[in-house]
Structure 1
Amino acid sequence: MIDYGSEIAITGDDPMMDFRADPDLIEFIEKLGRARNHYLSLTRGDFTLLYENEGMAVYTRSYKNETAFIALNNTSEKQEILIPTDKLGSKKQLIGLVNNDLIKEQNGNYPLSINGEESEIYIVRDNHGLKMLNVIVIIAIPIVFLILYFYIWKRGKNNG
């Protein structure tokens, strides 16, 4: 829930309201809104608390075939925890929607590091690794471009 006035960081301490919006705060609220609208697991489905200790909470929301993984650090210190694969499944990756983090399984755990007073929303996806088709396309595009460039250069040279 985002309270009215959050977009301009109203704290209630200052009797004179300053209606200039902080661009970083606006961008953050927009990211949250896009994530909420796009991923139904953030508003529907099952809630599972995975970790909670001294101001740090991690939970999942699951709806149909979609799982969102939310980490909240309400302390002033950076928190680092390991989420075992039995909580999320193995061979998954967590794709951050706010800070664009990417977490992959390491030694049977998902290492999570959240700075103080920050949070992150992750979408859980299968980690298929690098697909051969993607590698071929990445290599083929510059080769095709060079062949096309050489053909155009050769044709221009013959006509001129």
Structure 2
Amino acid sequence: MTKNSDIIKTLLIFICITASAAYAANPNYMIKPKIISAPDGDTIKIWTKERPVSVRLTGIDCYETSVNGHIQYQRNKGLTDEQIIEKGLKAKDELIKILRSNKNIYLEITGIDRKWGRYVGIFYYKDSKGRYISINDKMLKTGYCPRYIFKPYDEYIKYKH
């Protein structure tokens, strides 16, 4: 592929993801979870009838909050471990702030993380006009959570459209 076709492909994926976030806000596909905690900026722990479950936010990969096996991939972005952890802690704080300032949180499950076996989904809250606002998109806009695109999400976008 040429560089221009790579740019076009990336742009089209971005447009599809952005469009799907607005389209995916369908209450028929949502549950109202009981939030337990936010262990980091891209994971929310919820309570189900049987047990606590971790849900990864679809489409984002926040910086790590501690040195672990995944931090090596983020080092490739030219950041030191300290910078990565600082951004990760800010992402976690931002997610907690969003969750605390919005009573009514909704969740649309989009799949299961093949590597870790946890659920993957889009979290929403309602704004003052009753519109569903994607928490995933809000986290992406903070700058602490780079976009994360993976094959099941691409298939989810095709299914929703």
TM-score by length of 1: 0.29
Q: Which one has the bigger strand percentage?
A: 1
Q: Which one has the bigger helix percentage?
A: 2
Greater RCO structure (CA 8 Å; 6+ sep): 2
Larger Rg: 1
